[in-house]
Copies of this chain bind each other. A is one copy, B any other.
């Protein structure tokens, strides 16, 4: 397998955690979201993922090469083809709750604060002398989503968002908390989420998949 990824892409990070946690070997191919006008817009990349977003998983078998995109679809695929260690609980309702929490991030927060949206906001509403304030735009969406997550996780959490085992929910939460800090969201209102984050950060899968540990990371000097 090969993963098309960008170090700071939170959707890519979700998939990197799953691959690391399940012990699946993969090659890493960086796609820079800003350089060269955004490498995700190149014809060669669009042929793999016509949404021109990250991540994309390339799967090569004797029968040929196939591509999958959309992080939630990739997570479900990895769970079905590499069921152990599991990233969903056994109980149907708790499985649904893990996916509900994941979707709060995936469709409820991330699309409203990602690079693509910020570029559209600037193109649509920026006037000279009045730049669009990314922090002011993004922070309320992130806070609303994390509020809902904290409330719901209180019903199910153990060491992680749903019980004592890692799930899709945590794979979405941790990268979103990283984004929240980039937009200076005050996280002190989310003690449960911070505790879950601490428990996740102790796992090798989170250390290996962290943005700063990727080959294309640009670290501050």
- Of the listed residues A74, A76, A107, A148, the one surrounded by the most CB atoms of chain B closer than 10 A to its CB is A107
Tell me, rounded to whole Å, the shortest Cβ–Cβ distance linking A129 to chain B. 14
Q: 8 smallest A-B Cβ distances: which pairs?
A: A73-B99, A70-B103, A50-B148, A77-B96, A107-B107, A73-B100, A125-B125, A50-B151
Query: Which residues of chain B are near A102, meaning CB under 8 Å?
Result: 73
Instruction: Output the nearest chain B residue to A117 by Cβ-Cβ distance.
Output: B112
**A124→B137 contact, CB < 8 A:** yes
Count A-side interface residues using an 8 Å CB cutoff. 48
Decide if A32 is an interface residue (CB 8 Å cutoff). no
Known: A70-B104, A77-B93, A120-B141. 15 other contacts (CB 8 A): A49-B148, A50-B148, A52-B148, A53-B108, A66-B93, A68-B97, A68-B100, A70-B100, A70-B107, A72-B72, A72-B99, A72-B103, A111-B111, A111-B112, A124-B125
